[in-house]
Structure 1
C-alpha cells in the first residue's frame, strides 16, 4: 500500500524509516507547501517497507512517497 502526498511541496523531514511500525494516522514525514508544514500520515497500521523520497526533494500532489505493509 502506497502512502501518498496530500499536496505538492518540499519534503522537510522524514520521521519514519523502512522497518518502522506505524499506527493509522501516524505522521511519516512532513512536506512544506506555501510556508506551511503538512503532515503526511499512514492510512493504516503496519510496517514501512520503503521510503521513496529524500529530505529537500520536491514532490507532486498524490505522489507515492512511502510503501506500507498493512498489519493483518
Structure 2
C-alpha cells in the first residue's frame, strides 16, 4: 500500500535526500525542510520504494502538502 509523506508545517524545501527508485527504510530521511533557520528532516514512517517526489528544492510547502509517495 502506498504511503504518502506530507509536510507537517509551513517550510522551505531545503534539500531532497531521496530520489525516485530509492529503497527507503523506516525512519530514513526523504527530504529536509527549513523553517526559522532550523532544519527539519522528513522521515518515512515505513520502508518502501520512492515512487514519486512532489516537490523541488527551494519550494515552499504548507502543512499537509504532499512531499513524496512510497510504495
What is the deviation of 1:64?
1.0
Q: CA RMSD in A?
A: 0.7
The answer as to 2:4 corresponding to 1:10 is no
Q: Distance in 2 between matches of 1:37 and 1:20?
A: 22
- State the 4+ residue runs in structure 1 displaced beyond 4 angstroms: none
The answer as to 2:60 corresponding to 1:41 is no
TM normalised by structure 1 equals 0.92
Counterpart among 60, 64, 67 of residue 65 in structure 1 = 67
The answer as to 2:52 corresponding to 1:50 is yes
Q: Secondary structure at the residue paired with 1:11?
A: strand
TM normalised by structure 2 equals 0.93
